[in-house]
Chain A
Amino acid sequence: GDSVTQMEGPVTLSEEAFLTINCTYTATGYPSLFWYVQYPGEGLQLLLKATKADDKGSNKGFEATYRKETTSFHLEKGSVQVSDSAVYFCAAGRAGTALIFGKGTTLSVSS
Chain B
Amino acid sequence: GAVVSQHPSWVICKSGTSVKIECRSLDFQATTMFWYRQFPKQSLMLMATSNEGSKATYEQGVEKDKFLINHASLTLSTLTVTSAHPEDSSFYICSARDQQGAMNTEAFFGQGTRLTVV
Interface residues of A (CB under 8 A from B): 31-32, 34, 36, 41-46, 49, 51, 89, 91, 93-96, 98-104, 106
Contacts of B43 in A (CB 8 A): 89, 101-104
Interface 0/1 of B84-109, CB less than 8 Å to A: 00000000010101010001111111
User: How near does chain A come to B22, taking the closest CB pair, in angstroms?
Assistant: 14
Asked if B49 is at the interface (CB within 8 A of a chain A CB), the reply is: yes
Report the bound CA distance from A94 to B49 in whole Å.
Answer: 14
Contacts of A43 in B (CB 8 A): 6, 93, 109-112
Name 9 A/B residue pairs within 8 A (Cβ), A-sorted: A41-B114, A44-B109, A46-B1, A51-B104, A95-B103, A95-B105, A98-B46, A98-B49, A102-B43
B residues 22-64 near A (Cβ < 8 Å) are: 32, 34, 41-44, 46, 49
Interface residues of B (CB under 8 A from A): 1, 6, 32, 34, 41-44, 46, 49, 93, 95, 97, 99, 103-112, 114
Q: Are B107 and A93 in contact (CB-based, < 8 A)? A: yes
Contacts of A99 in B (CB 8 A): 34, 95, 107
Q: How many A-B residue pairs have CB under 8 A?
A: 58
Contacts of B49 in A (CB 8 A): 98
Q: Are B42 and A103 in contact (CB-based, < 8 A)? A: yes
Given A34-B107, A89-B44, 10 new contacts (CB under 8 A): A31-B104, A34-B106, A36-B109, A42-B111, A44-B44, A96-B32, A96-B97, A98-B34, A102-B43, A104-B42
Nearest residue (CB) in A for B4 is A43
User: How near does chain B come to A91, taking the closest CB pair, in angstroms?
Assistant: 8
Report the bound CA distance from A84 to B6 in whole Å.
Answer: 25
Nearest residue (CB) in A for B59 is A98
Contacts of B110 in A (CB 8 A): 43
Contacts of A41 in B (CB 8 A): 114
User: How near does chain B come to A107, taking the closest CB pair, in angstroms?
Assistant: 13
Return the contact of B106 from the options A42, A46, A94, A96 (Cβ within 8 A): A46
Q: Are A98 and B42 in contact (CB-based, < 8 A)? A: no
Nearest residue (CB) in B for A106 is B41
Given contacts A34-B106, A43-B93, A93-B107, contact A101 B99 (CB under 8 A): no
